[in-house]
Amino acid sequence: MTDQKTIYALSSGRPPVAVAVVRISGPRAGDALKALTGKLPEPRRAMFARIRDPQSNEIIDEALALFFPAPRSETGEDVAEIQLHGGRAVIAALFAALARMEGFRLAEPGEFTRRAFENGKLDLTAIEGLADLIYADTDAQRRQALRQLQGLLGNRAEDWRKRLIEAQALAEAGIDFSDEADVASNVTAQALGVARALQSEIAQALSDAARGERLREGLVVAIAGPPNAGKSTLLNRIARREASIVSPFAGTTRDVIEVHLDLAGYPVTLLDTAGIRETNDPVEREGVARARARAQAADLVLWVVDASDIAMPDPPAVANIFVVRNKIDLATKRTLDEKPSGSFGVSSTTGKGLDALLDTLAAFVNETLGSREPALVTRERQRILLQEASDALTRAIAEAQREDIFAEELRLAARALGRLTGRVDVEDILDVIFRDFCIGK
Ligand SMILES: Nc1nc2c(ncn2[C@@H]2O[C@H](COP(=O)(O)OP(=O)(O)O)[C@@H](O)[C@H]2O)c(=O)[nH]1
Ligand SMILES: [Mg+2]
């Protein structure tokens, strides 16, 4: 748990940069500012200051200093922030001065956020949102992360937990009044009503969990098909760079190549895979096996075939597939007549037909990830705990006639929700959550 040390860290990017932000949090944050600048700025107001080494009195830099007294600060402790020039020697001189002060040490990764959690500033779902916000690559991810940071799931879970605790109190009252049958059945009926309502609200949140988790991780689109159909050329064309090696020789792509795309604000991981064919080359055979596995697991397969080739192998049986007839520039009337309905005719070398393919792809991604209400659940941890709460409620409802079991299951459901927000019993998961954070956050 939190020690009484005052911690400091560089919270901005790697120097040299124009401006560096150094944060200091803990009981002596204000002392540090006084020692370095000669006085304490007004709370939450920027103050121009000469930062001096308290030992030599030499000016280290000219800077802006801010002070956020507890509890109205990011961590809930006294926080000082110094914005100075982002040179390595500047930062090193400031850190050397701080290190000499009694009761100071460098912060560990995520330690500011951890202190914010321990001081009740953020619950765990908000912290997960904060981590996601820092790592968000696309607009839709940013929006989802910000909603989590603002408490979309955390507030809801806390509301559920409070209602559960009330229901549990009713159920326990039912046990106390068990020799007065009508009082007992009356309070149990009330508690049962709450359990049923919560069960359905939690089930609804869970039903949309896959979407929130997918948006965090990105949709996976696998390009697959026979060798030499132009799969790698298509990937490079879509990614607008030479991510994958293209050659006229079949069997060039062996490992799975990934590129990350921002498609209309949604994250998409596009995979290029080895051409699917029978082969005796053990390396290529492994590539084909990986290609098959990744295509099976993908959210969508772009099945690429050569439109100039009359022999068209059957696409794999997966839920979502677009048939892409590539090399349409080479296709003859005969091969064009064979065109399967619903397929896309494109030329990855000239770019013909690619806009239509990309528009349909963007519509698919939007349909899968977006366009409705923001998802409440964005992580496996959240999903598992909500499922635990839901299962306990199911058992509670089934056993409502046995008051002691009923009350116990309600307690278990409330406990799962408490773990979700971090109100109860979370020491064991904290390290996992804060591992995602960088120093200075
Ligand atoms: N004419 C034409 N050639 C293409 C097209 N797409 C790919 N190619 C060529 O087909 C060959 C195989 O392409 P590649 O992308 O390596 O195929 P992969 O094995 O499916 O990955 C290369 O020589 C490409 O230049 C296309 O749309 N039109
Ligand atoms: Mg290839």
> Is 279 within a domain?
yes
Tokens of 71: 């509890």
d(CA 303, CA 229): 10
DSSP 3-state helix, strand, coil percentages of the chain (rounded to 5)? 45, 15, 35
- If one counts the domains in the chain, the total is 3
Domain boundary among 98, 118, 138: 118
* Lowest mean pLDDT segment, chosen from 44-53, 165-174, 321-330, 380-389: 165-174
Cβ of residue 236 lying under 6 Å from some atom of ligand 1? no
d(CA 8, CA 382): 31
Cβ of residue 348 lying under 6 Å from some atom of ligand 1? yes
**pLDDT tier, 145 (very low <50, low <70, confident <90, very high otherwise):** very high
Ligand 1, closest atom to CA 251? 19
**Number of helices and strands in the chain (H, E):** 15, 12
Indicate if 245 and 315 belong to the same structural domain: yes
Strand 266-272 to 257-263 pairing: antiparallel
Query: CB–CB of 411/169 below 8 Å?
Result: no
Cβ of residue 347 lying under 6 Å from some atom of ligand 1? yes
d(CA 398, CA 406): 8
Helix ranges, 24-138 (H):
29-37, 88-100, 111-118, 124-135
* Long-range pairs, 168-173, Cβ under 8 A, ≥24: 168/407, 168/410, 168/411, 168/414, 170/194, 171/403, 171/406, 171/407, 171/410, 172/407
Indicate if 199 and 163 belong to the same structural domain: yes
At 252-281, the pLDDT tens digits run: 777 788 888 888 889 999 998 888 777 888
Cβ of residue 231 lying under 6 Å from some atom of ligand 1? yes
Report pLDDT for 424: 76
Q: Nearest ligand to the C-alpha of residue 224?
A: 1
Question: What is the pTM (predicted TM-score) of this model?
Answer: 0.80
Indicate if 190 and 225 belong to the same structural domain: no
Cβ of residue 233 lying under 6 Å from some atom of ligand 1? yes
CATH of the domain at 309: 3.40.50.300
Tokens of 58: 């030499």
d(CA 156, CA 150): 11
List the residue whose alpha carbon is closest to atom 14 of ligand 1: 230
At 64-81, the pLDDT tens digits run: 999 999 999 999 999 999
Which percentage of the chain shows pLDDT scores above 70? 90
Tokens of 110: 């995520």
> Is 245 within a domain?
yes
**pLDDT tier, 433 (very low <50, low <70, confident <90, very high otherwise):** low
Nearest in space to 207 (alpha carbons), one of 373, 321, 362 = 373
Report pLDDT for 252: 72
DSSP letter assigned to residue 43: B
Domain boundary among 91, 118, 145: 118
Indicate if 226 and 194 belong to the same structural domain: no
At 12-65, the pLDDT tens digits run: 999 999 999 999 999 999 999 999 999 999 999 999 999 999 999 999 999 999
Tokens of 85: 């020039």
> Is 200 within a domain?
yes
Indicate if 107 and 131 belong to the same structural domain: no
**pLDDT tier, 343 (very low <50, low <70, confident <90, very high otherwise):** confident
Indicate if 163 and 256 belong to the same structural domain: no
Q: Nearest ligand to the C-alpha of residue 237?
A: 1
Ligand 1, closest atom to CA 248? 23
Report pLDDT for 5: 96
Indicate if 68 and 144 belong to the same structural domain: no
Query: Domain residues for 255?
Result: 216-369
Indicate if 221 and 359 belong to the same structural domain: yes
Query: CB–CB of 104/95 below 8 Å?
Result: no
Q: For a substitution probing ligand 1, which of 235, 246, 270, 302 has the most ligand atoms within 8 Å of its CB?
A: 246
Ligand 1, closest atom to CA 236? 15
Report pLDDT for 1: 46
Which percentage of the chain shows pLDDT scores above 90? 62
> Is 166 within a domain?
yes
Tokens of 400: 């409502």
Quick one: average pLDDT of 293-317? 86
Q: Find out whether the peptide bond into 71 is cis, omega within 30 degrees of 0.
A: yes
| Residues 6+ away with beta carbon under 8 Å from 181 | none
How much is the mean pLDDT over the chain? 89
Q: Nearest ligand to the C-alpha of residue 354?
A: 1
> Is 23 within a domain?
yes
CATH of the domain at 51: 3.30.1360.120
Ligand 1, closest atom to CA 231? 20
Domain boundary among 118, 150, 169: 118
Report pLDDT for 240: 81
Q: Which of 1-10, 87-96, 179-188 has the highest mean pLDDT?
A: 87-96
CATH of the domain at 181: 1.20.120.430
Tokens of 214: 């997918």
| Residues 6+ away with beta carbon under 8 Å from 83 | 19, 20, 21, 22, 63, 64, 65, 66
> Is 396 within a domain?
yes
> Is 441 within a domain?
no
Query: CB–CB of 63/49 below 8 Å?
Result: yes
Indicate if 183 and 278 belong to the same structural domain: no
Indicate if 347 and 411 belong to the same structural domain: no
At 112-144, the pLDDT tens digits run: 999 999 999 999 999 999 999 999 999 999 999
> Is 77 within a domain?
yes
User: Between residues 424 and 219, which one has the greater pLDDT?
Assistant: 219
Neighbouring-strand partners of residue 102: none
Indicate if 353 and 237 belong to the same structural domain: yes
The one-letter amino acid code at 348 reads S
Indicate if 351 and 220 belong to the same structural domain: yes
List the residue whose alpha carbon is closest to atom 7 of ligand 1: 230
User: Between residues 342 and 35, which one has the greater pLDDT?
Assistant: 35
pLDDT of 2 over the 60 cut: no
- What is the dihedral angle through the alpha carbons of 110, 116, 121, 123, rounded to the nearest 10 degrees? 40
